[in-house]
Structure 1
Amino acid sequence: MGGTLIRTLYEEERDRMSMFTKVGAEAAAAGNNEGDAKESPIVSFKSGSTFKVGVKSINDVAEYYGYGMFGKVNTFLPEKAAERNAKGYVTKNPSLWDQAADLLYADANAAKEAGADEAAVKVFTDEAYLYKGKKRYLRAFFDLTTGKDIVVDLSPKQEQTLKATIEDNLDDLDAIAFKLTKKGSGTNAVVALSAIVKMDRDLTAEECTNFDKLGEAPFDMASFETCLYVADTAEQTKNLVIAGFDIGRLGLSIGASAGTSAQPNAQTPPPADAAASLEIDEAELPF
């Protein structure tokens, strides 16, 4: 769904919600199993998107590790989240996708030990990286056009950009509206949060009225749980096949391991332009 929520993110909320790295997949699974699922605040944040927003709190953010493959498999969380250390490395309960990545990294090590050149080894490490969980962030804003809270999905670099702007205006969040934008796509995607200097000119009467409601209610942190799609073991297996991995290497087969589909009450996977298949930021690659 991508460091650490503010007060390192933001330790207060991190302790309470655990689907998000230290807020956890348990929260996500619980949310998906509710009989009366609430409307998710996540919105499509594709290239060309523009929102006029208010910021209720710098702490309205959650970190998670999402899995998926750009153009093939939309972002999901495993129903049982892997345990990670402070640096984000999996230490316990790896998902099927983590296990696939480990096998490919083992292939890379074997090739290296056999004397393969750097380019040949990199073929394996590049492929392994595609299966790893990627750190992502969900950040909430107050949409001045609709008068509702919205959530956008961000890479770590994008989250850093937006958080820096919020920090620069921290003392005036109750008086400043912003324009949230995204331009470009893939590794060239750029997000920005720009202060609207002349609010009386650039906001409609309705948007001004909604801005006055900014402080009426805090963002409901529990609604983050509705923003991400949770896949069970069977669906993770199917997704590995779609991604092109030989599931036989994990002792799996579709007939034996994928007899059930996703959780009965799991939310529909997000559309491809919302919190969709992970875009890889080359600046964040580990090689």
Structure 2
Amino acid sequence: MSIFSKRGSEAVAAATAEKDGKASAMVAFPSGTTLKVRVKSAEDSAEYYGYSIFKKVNTFVPKEPAQRNAKGFITGNPTVWDRAAEYYYGMAKQAREAGDEAAAKEYSDAAYLFKGKPRYLMGFGSLETGEDIVVDLSAKQAKTIVAAIQKYAKKLDKVAFELSKTGSSTDTAVTLTPILDMDEDLTEAERANFAKCGEKPFDFALFEDCLYVADETEQIKNLVVAGFDIGLLGLTLGANASNTPGGGQDEDLPQF
């Protein structure tokens, strides 16, 4: 079987054809960024549990997420990453019972890295394009933004905002600041887009295309990339591994 799906004129036609795929509404929001936005509603958000290791594994959501109660505690179907976190929490408990607080803290810190953490997608209207956009925020960042939205809840149809991120590494802060003089501080195009963004509510369907979904095999590979010994969970990677989900091949590990 060839690795090429199309050749010659077919390949040229495919390369120049219009694609049906819909672009994600997620926008890049690195530190130092300021976006001018319209807040359509205080409820334009969605919570999810993301897994990642800073500078090693990019944020993903499991194809089959763990079952959680209203407080976010896992009640069933833990992912392999949840099992890795639980392994370290178990080691922390043993160390604490043995009186080794230093080791207990080290294991607890390791467990925290692998556990799923609540994150939030928040939707806004972009004054640059007039279209809906989505930003991805940590729980702490989202809490700050929601508080600001609630503070100005009665003025959302009259006031634009600057959504900004500052700081570095894992220590970043996000703020939402009202633009009080829109005639002075917005361009004509931005004012027009502010009006355009108010013509319809935020499209929640846009959230569906914003997250990277990983199946269990990829999650196991990501554990290896993160430096976790998957053998501790009785897991292996390889074509002949009976406990490898889907019997996947021993492919190259993803690079981050």
Bin of the TM-score, shorter chain as denominator length: 0.7 to 0.9
Asked which structure has the greater RCO (Cα within 8 Å, sep 6+), the reply is 1
Of 152, 162, 165, which aligns to 2:148? 165
* Separation (CA, whole Å) in 1 of partners of 2:116 and 2:104: 21
Residues 235 and 261, structure 1, Cα contact 8 Å, conserved in 2: no
Q: TM-score by structure 2 length? A: 0.85
- Residue of structure 2 aligned with 1:259, choices 209, 228, 248: 248
Aligned positions of 1:1-287 closer than 5 A:
36-113=20-97, 115-255=98-238, 256=241, 257=244, 259=248
Task: Tell me how many residue pairs correspond in the alignment.
Answer: 229
Letter in 2 for 1:90: I
Secondary structure of 2:23 counterpart = coil
Q: CA deviation at 1:117?
A: 1.9
Shift of 1:142: 0.6
The 1-side partners of 2:58 and 2:212 are apart by: 9
User: Which of these two proteins has the greater Rg computed from alpha carbons?
Assistant: 2
1:25 corresponding residue in structure 2: none
Contact 2:132–2:197 (CA under 8 A) maintained in structure 1: no
Give the superposition deviation at 1:111.
Answer: 2.1
Q: Equivalent residue of 1:135, what SS?
A: strand
Mean alpha-carbon deviation: is it higher for 183-192 or for 149-158? 183-192
Residues 203-229 of structure 1, C-alpha deviations (whole Å, 9 max, x = no match): 111111111112212111121111110
**For 1:242 and 1:229, how far apart are their aligned partners in 2?**
17
* % same residue: 56
CA gap 1:260/1:211 in 2 versus in 1, 3 angstroms? farther
* Native 8 Å contact 1:234 1:261 kept in 2: no
Deviation at 1:230, TM superposition (A): 0.4
- 1:31-58 CA deviation, whole Å, 9 max, x = no partner? xxxx954221111111100111101111
